[in-house]
Structure 1
Amino acid sequence: MKTDKPRVAIQGIRASFHEEAAFRYFGENIETIECNSFKQTFEALKNKEADYVVMAIENSIAGSILPNYSLMMGYSYPVVGEVYVPIQLHLMALPGVRFDDVKYVTSHPIAIRQCIDFFDEYPHLKIVESNDTAACAKRIRDEQLTDTVAIANTLAAQLYGLDVLERRIESNKLNFTRFLILTTHENNKKKGPANKASLCFQVNNEVGALAKVLNVFCHENVNMSKIQSMPVLGKRNEYNFYVDIEWEEAKQFDNSIRQILKYTHNFNILGEYQQYIEDDSPKPQTKPDNTKRYITVKKIE
């Protein structure tokens, strides 16, 4: 039964960074749809099991998540927003567990790499990789593991009843992940006037072809905040260029699009949306409730 709450598909489980991103964008009054993979989040949207998808697209340390660009093109759902989440990683264990008794550390491989400086000081610990930070915290709770610690966020510690043994163990304290918000065309309701867009296009394999497009942005005073290239599958020397642009007046965007159409082919506007602006006001640290707001999507073969 559909409720008035937005149904938001995420990769991972409760208290993952994807859910934290969903809370930051929509608020906590949502219904989270847990999915095992990014592809499943899009399938949930396609099958009307979700109203939105929240998907990580880049990390300030690990870089772009390239397969997710292909998913965006393959499903053609519009991007309607973005949100940035600071990645703060904590070491957590069952209540009463002492760090001296720990033998194993478990988390997502990217999270582990982001904390490598911390674990260099404890070479006796065995690293166990998993597919989700929050799932590692849940496993410790479910299996009552007294010799294992997880690397995850504050939400995971709160939800699964773990004690934080050490806070902020990530090597780079300025680490963040950018998430995109996608939905169906029927549900594409903008929050306000767009001032940012994500584009995808190809140019001819000749001298200056890409420069012509970039010069258009420069001439129209449109800021290009990101550019990412990916080979076109099965075609030699052909690339898709994924570009994010920002503008102050709508006519700057409109003029740019009209002009670059002359220099590109297979041109797509992946979405027009409002640029994310960090709200510096303090956010309440509330413990997630235990009401049944979560649905798990069955594995799609």
Structure 2
Amino acid sequence: MNDTHPDLLDRALGAFYGLALGDALGMPTQVMARSEVVRVYGTLTGFEPAGQDNPVSAGMPAGSVTDDTDQAVIVGRLLIEGGGHIDPLRFSQELLSWEKEMKAKGSFDLLGPSTKAALDAVAGGASLDEAGRTGTTNGSAMRVTPVGIAFAARPLDTFLDRVVESCQVTHDTTVGIAGAAAVAAAVSTGVAGGSLDDVFEAAVTAARAGSQRGHWIAGADVAARITWARELVRGLPEAEALDQVCALIGTSVATQESVPAAFAVLALTEGDPWRAALMAANLGGDSDTIGAIAGAIAGSVRGLAAIPADALQTLRTVNGLELEDLTRQLLTHR
């Protein structure tokens, strides 16, 4: 498409800013147990600064985004630079440069375990085709939203080729690709005008197909767990639902936990981006990534207008975040 339909742009911006929203709201509670979140915050109702004892986000002011947003922006920029494709060598260089910059600022919010291991392997002489063969954590899912913005989810094989390009260097596994495919397809379907039911269907279909790509890894089926997670929380009061998500689905960095957890949050909040992002923040665990995924998908369904204006202003002011131009450029590939 050459001209951007207003509704399409609104949903695409909703996805990108929804990612940042969930990331920033979840920033202070990441790596905290849910019981600790309740003890410290009661129920989180808005942006909070990180506690000084948080081993990852200590010192970060309220409204700060983390690696989820930063790396999604890198993916978006590389898609534009590459004419819709991501060059794996450039991607690895960009990720290493990002971490170097974070270290220089004194940040503890660095590369995740799968990404770090893959890039260390590349630095040690491993080929780009082999570096990501053990990556199963949620790094590929947390940063894949720009792929969903840029490309239609159909035909699925072509769409999965674009998803795999964003995964290959660090998460070239059945589990890593399945998680990223679920998120990207959900975002793409939302941006195209899909309902929450459409988004779930697209996510499950794409995760199932994505699990046939990459190096096989023993792990629970992402598609099956997304379907199960939605049913698990159906009709439950919020506090009980959050406890069930922590106890049974899991909130760790494992793709097969955090991606289904994000979809459970989506189901519980009926796709409202602000509520979804807040609910994820109250989970603890990998709350910033769960929030980023849930916020991106919810934003794609409800659009930018569903994100409170004061929250958007906070994201822009605290982080210097301006995603409009990048989002418009991504949409030119649809």
TM-score normalised by L of structure 2: 0.22
Bigger radius of gyration, 1 or 2? 1
Larger RCO (alpha carbons 8 Å, 6+ apart): 2
Which has the larger share of strand?
1
TM-score normalised by L of structure 1: 0.24
